[in-house]
Amino acid sequence: MPHFLQHFLKLCFIVATSTILFSCAGYQLGGSKPEQLKGIQSIYVPMVENKTQEIKLAPQATNSLVHFINKDGAYSVTTPAQSDATLRVVIEKIEYREFRSARLDTLRAEELTANIRAKWELIDNQSNILLSGRSSGETRFFVGDNQRLSRDNSLNDALDTLSRKITSLISNGF
């Protein structure tokens, strides 16, 4: 038997075996949306409601949500007239906690955690709630000379974590 024919047969055997083994693994491409969201293709994301005293938090949160929904690709973000559902998010609370204090001055915080808590609802065009929940985004940050500036800079990371969690819940169900 010619040498190239032996290599060709080995390659065919490997491809056939791989196809048989991996087709039975239970994996599928796409189709990972929660069952109640199978018909939803597009989402409208209005301005996030902010019940805290932080300024500029609502547009930052809205931009972060739109970014992660677009990045995920399960839904397209559209206008209210073209959407199948609306994602309403309300930021309820921001908590700051000391994570680490200065070595020589225990009253001076060296590292803090910021936790943003929000409730959200995905509502269809007939005002039925398809999904709802509460999510939080957390980040740790070091405090520099200006604690206010350090807090403001950390909020984007906490908002990204929050947006990632909400997007995962509406796209994958977990």
Residue 8 included in any domain: no
> Which of 57-61, 114-118, 161-165, 169-173 comes out lowest in average pLDDT?
169-173
Mean pLDDT computed over 155-174: 93
pTM: 0.78
Report the DSSP pairing between strands 42-44 and 76-77.
parallel
pLDDT score at 18: 73
CATH number of the domain residue 41 falls in: 3.30.160.150
Q: Is 75 exposed, middle or buried (0-12, 13-18, 19+ CB in 10 A)?
A: buried
Number of folded domains that form the chain: 1
Whether 121 is covered by a domain: the verdict is: yes
62 inside domain = yes
Residue 150 located in a structural domain: yes
Q: Report if residue 89 sits inside a domain.
A: yes
119-142 per-position pLDDT tens digit: 999 999 999 999 999 999 999 999
Boundaries of domain holding 130: 32-172
Q: Give the C-alpha separation, 76 to 98, whole Å.
A: 39
pLDDT digits (tens, 9 = 90+) for 29-45: 555 778 888 889 999 99
